[in-house]
Amino acid sequence: MQIHLQQCQFEFEQGFQLQDINWQIKSGQHWVITGANGSGKSALVATLAGYGEKIAGTSEGSVEAVALVSFEAQAALIERERKKDDADILDVISVGTAVHEILAEGGTNANIVKDLVEKFALNYLLDRPFRALSTGETRKILLIQALASEPQLLLLDEPFDGLDADTLAMLQQYLAKLSNTVNIVMVLNRSDEIPDFITHLGYMRNATLAHSVARADESGYRELFQLLHLKTSDLRIPPTADSSTQALLNPDQPLVVLSDICVKYDQLKVLQNFNWRIDTGQHWQLCGPNGSGKTAILSLITGDHPQCYSNDIFVFGFQRGNGESIWQIKQFIGYVSTALQWEYRVGTSLRNVIVSGFYDSIGLYSKATDKQRQIADQWLALLGMQGRADQSFNKLSFGDQRLLLIARAMVKHPPLLILDEPCLGLDDINRQLVLALIEKICAAGLSTVLYVNHHSEDTIAGIENYKNIEKHSSNVD
């Protein structure tokens, strides 16, 4: 079998459309399609079973026998059965269709049905009316029906959802064996459920198949897997080593107060009379065109700008320029920027890069404690990079480096996390990865996030305050 969709557009009920679908499935391939809720992943897979109306594009190839198990199909069957119950006009009580009848529908192989009923331990309900079953039970019945129809192409939309551990293991084993003879396409929401026999991953975003990659393409597959992992796993931000420096702050004081800021280089004023107050828990997005002084503002906060000593700056309880050291300031800040990534050209291990966040250093110059190492490993697991702790940082892809630097910034649970154009220079998938990670961080509520960006599409859920700065550089009189 082979299916080749080119520039296809499909329309579904209520006007939902899939756009620009380019997808080729060849014999022997097994796909997992994933994506956020509402991205169209179920719809995409359903088109293979003839759902949706193709209104543009070409579709080549054919499949003789397709079986689809999905929530939609399950709902349709339940609806059909429910309608049978509307027979009170006949004044007889309808019991609906019995389970064994459902299983025989569509010319299923009786031997396979028998075998699977035993495997799923469902003998006890063969004679019950289908509509009397629980949701989980109907799901299993539909799975058996689909498997027993001996399809050439098996479409499974979230087949593992709601299965108990034993049944899950049994089904996975069964599918693995089946994959030798049947092409399987699944919709999955969780990266950790992807079976080993899967050969390809597809990622749906905004109703299109945004990425598809073969497992053989190791780095591409890894990136997509990481994205799924971040998007779909139930991730928890690892704890910090001792206590966050949050405890050192007076909760009644603002985190940052910039008053009447002026920054000038030679004769050029890049910031003039700029004021900003950031309170704990207020996530901010800072926007402004190139050259408007965004980076200058950030570096005044971080203490990296030499003119921070000649401005009125209050940060983390310090009025700047009164004998505090830059390290006393930096301990409260996690920081990520493209510039940092350029600076961070060291051959150190991934684990050490994360640990360096405890010391605010580029490279690691102190021995890591066991606890710090453990935490670094937890972060690597969160990023989907477990087992790569000893790899060299400068051999990583650009996107992976960025992710790692975000983990480095967050490792100490800083009261203020500054993300200066964290998606700059990243391709789409890596941008998705970074945004997914930042959303996790915002949601965790451990840090106040200051997000700088001029890409309007890269918004982050959870950021509600916006600071816009205009380009207003002017010459000093």
Partner 1 sequence: MLRSLANVPVELSKLFKWKMTMSNNYFNTLALRDQLEQLGKCRFMHLNEFTEGVDALKGKKIVVIGCGAQGLNQGLNLRDSGLDVSYTLRQAAIDEKRQSWKNASENGFTVGTYKELIPTADVVLNLTPDKQHTAVVTEIMPLMKKDACLSYSHGFNVVEEGMQIRQDLTVIMVAPKCPGSEVRAEYVRGFGVPTLIAVHEDNDPQGQGLALAKAYAVGTGGHKAGVLMSSFIAEVKSDLMGEQTILCGMLQTGSILCFDKMVEKGIDAGYASKLVQYGWEVVTEALKYGGVTNMLDRLSNPDKIAAFDLAEELKDIMRPLYNKHQDDIMDGTFSSGMMADWAEDDAKLLGWRAETAETAFEKTPAGDMEISEQEFFDHGILMVAMVKAGVELAFETMTAAGIIADSAYYESLHETPLIANTIARKKLYEMNATISDTAEYGCYLYNHACLPLLQDFMKKIDTDVIGKGTVNDDNGVDNARLIEVNAALRAHPVEQIGGILRGHMSDMKAII
Residues lying near partner 1 in the complex (CB under 8 A): 265-266, 303-304, 306-310, 323-328, 343, 346-348, 352, 356, 359-368
Looking at the Cβ atoms of 338 and 361, the one nearer to partner 1 is 361
Looking at the Cβ atoms of 16 and 265, the one nearer to partner 1 is 265
Looking at the Cβ atoms of 307 and 397, the one nearer to partner 1 is 307
- CA–CA gap between residue 98 and residue 150 (Å, rounded): 22
Strands (DSSP E) found in 121-218 = 153-157, 183-187, 200-205, 208-214
CB-based burial label for 314 (10 Å; 0-12, 13-18, 19+): middle
* Nearest approach, Cβ of residue 356 and partner 1 (Å): 8
Measured between its terminal Cα atoms, the distance across the chain in Å is 76
Given a contact cutoff of 8 angstroms between Cβ atoms, the answer to whether 205 and 248 are in contact is no
* Nearest approach, Cβ of residue 343 and partner 1 (Å): 7
* Nearest approach, Cβ of residue 396 and partner 1 (Å): 16
* Nearest approach, Cβ of residue 305 and partner 1 (Å): 9
Beta bridge partners of 420: 337, 452
Looking at the Cβ atoms of 66 and 300, the one nearer to partner 1 is 300
Looking at the Cβ atoms of 9 and 307, the one nearer to partner 1 is 307
Question: Of 234, 205, 256, 188, which Cα lies nearest the Cα of 443?
Answer: 234
Query: At how many degrees (to 10) do helices 398-410 and 218-232 cross?
Result: 30
Please say whether the dihedral angle defined by the alpha carbons of residues 11, 17, 22 and 25, taken in this order, is positive or negative.
negative
* Nearest approach, Cβ of residue 244 and partner 1 (Å): 19
Q: What tokens were used for 133?
A: 């079953």
* Nearest approach, Cβ of residue 36 and partner 1 (Å): 38
Q: Is 382 helix (H, G, I), strand (E, B) or coil?
A: helix
* Nearest approach, Cβ of residue 274 and partner 1 (Å): 16
* Nearest approach, Cβ of residue 259 and partner 1 (Å): 16
Looking at the Cβ atoms of 127 and 343, the one nearer to partner 1 is 343
Rounded to 5 degrees, φ, ψ at 422 are -65, -15
- CA–CA gap between residue 275 and residue 26 (Å, rounded): 60
* Beta strand 183-187 pairing with 153-157: parallel
Looking at the Cβ atoms of 251 and 367, the one nearer to partner 1 is 367
- CA–CA gap between residue 190 and residue 199 (Å, rounded): 16
- CA–CA gap between residue 41 and residue 155 (Å, rounded): 12
* Nearest approach, Cβ of residue 357 and partner 1 (Å): 11
Sheet of 268-278: strand order equals 318-319, 312-315, 256-265, 268-278, 474-475
Looking at the Cβ atoms of 15 and 347, the one nearer to partner 1 is 347
Looking at the Cβ atoms of 162 and 306, the one nearer to partner 1 is 306
